[in-house]
Structure 1
């Protein structure tokens, strides 16, 4: 199921790639991505245009520091961007990341502590305003592995709202 979802996203992207209208994405965008994947919450998000084919790299860093657990999450996604009409774009991408967890509730009795790897897909829609503001809504399915904890090894959908300043 996991592989089918990523495969479908790439096939759809490849199908519409040549049919997309020409449009230009910003060289850089910096902002916040408000989601809830893996309990990390909001992430600082940076996007950088790559090449001349409306492709970009997105890097996100999230962290949480509270009485139950401390965590960080670093994600890198390569995205392909296509224009729908006017300022509306849709995008799809794939990448990977690291999740670090320090569970302070049970002194690591449940085995959550550690650093874990995950693979991620990304599909979303965005609106590029006439001012240097970009707003997006996306879903990022994440597939964790290399963990003794079954919860961290499973599929984790992450739906988020992004707001970024373009420069």
Structure 2
């Protein structure tokens, strides 16, 4: 840390090698962080497709919040990448229905122990036409192959999300 006289103080004081190796926020890339995004025409089409699919599956409110939370210079490229690659490239492909893709996601997210994302995709599975019974069966299948602790947590997450959906009038549990 520089003192008012311009001299360094602290653990690296007087050690020019240590002071040179200290990380800085100096921009060493050819683009400033705020301009190093995926805003080229090449990306625009996939992003637009992904954005529409993402809203269709997980809901407009969820997408708006995710994009708002990820809109800073550092996080923005991750949101763009997720929207383009997962939602724009994979979710828009023919060959599997949205319902089937949702059920696959439930099982994979259970296996990975990604509980926040699992909750998002339980809601998406319902929006994509999966029934409560199909969600339960997918999670039972995951429980058998991923282990009981993962299965139990997945059931807790799914039950919480389904209850929230019922409370909001988005579905009737049966």
- Greater share of helix residues, 1 or 2? 2
TM-score between both structures, scaled by the size of structure 2: 0.22
- Greater share of strand residues, 1 or 2? 1
Of structures 1 and 2, the larger Rg is shown by: 2
TM-score between both structures, scaled by the size of structure 1: 0.22
If asked which structure has higher relative contact order (CA below 8 Å, sep 6+), I would say 1
